[in-house]
Amino acid sequence: MPPHIYNPLVGIILLFSAYRLFSHQEESITAKFPLLPMALSVGAILGLLSGLTGVGGGIFLSPLLLLMRWGKAKAVAAVAALFILVNSVAGLMGHMSGLQVIPHFALLLAAVALGGGVIGAIAGSRHMPAAGIVRALAIVLGIAGAKLMLI
C-alpha cells in the first residue's frame, strides 16, 4: 500500500499528541527511564509506523518521550534533534544516490538548515523555558497533523 493511505491516521495521532502536550506539566515530573525491552519494542513500533507512513520517526519520538515521562523537555529536544539529524542525513544520502545530478542549490539548503538548527539549539538550550519548548512542539505537531489530514 502507498504511504499516503495512512496519512489521516498519522494526522489524528499527531493532533492527539499536540492536544495532550498543551496540558503537559514539565516542572512536576521526574524522568523515569524505560526498561530496555520496552525501549526496544517502542523503537521497533516507531520504525514500523515511520516506514508505513513515510513520516520521520522523530515526530513520533518527541511527544512519546514527553508523554510517557521518559525525559524532560530539554533532554527530549536534544535526543530528538540528534535522531532527526541522523535520519535526515541517511534519507538525503539515499535520495541523492538515485539522482543523476545534484541540484546546484543543495549546498545552500544544507547550510541554511544547519544554521537554523544551530539557532534553534542555542535558543532552546539557553533561552527558552521548558514549557515553551513543549508548546512549540505541540504547535509543530498540530500543523503537521492538520496537513496530513488534508492530504
Find the mean pLDDT for residues 110-133. 87
Tally of domains in the chain: 1
What's the pLDDT band for 41 if we cut at 50, 70, 90? Answer: very high
Residues 120 and 95: their CA atoms lie apart, in Å, by: 26
Residues 117 and 86: their CA atoms lie apart, in Å, by: 13
pLDDT score of 6: 66
Find the mean pLDDT for residues 22-37. 77
pLDDT score of 3: 55
Q: Of 42, 116, 27, which Cα lies nearest the Cα of 74? A: 27
Residues 58 and 75: their CA atoms lie apart, in Å, by: 14
Q: Which residues contact 110 (CB under 8 A, 6 or more apart)?
A: none
pLDDT score of 28: 63
Domain of residue 45: give its range. Answer: 3-150
Q: Which residue has the higher pLDDT, 86 or 147?
A: 147
* Average pLDDT over all residues of the chain: 82
pLDDT digits (tens, 9 = 90+) for 55-99: 777 888 888 888 888 888 888 888 888 877 777 777 778 777 887
Residues 147 and 65: their CA atoms lie apart, in Å, by: 23
Count the Cβ atoms, other than its own, within 10 Å of residue 141: 24
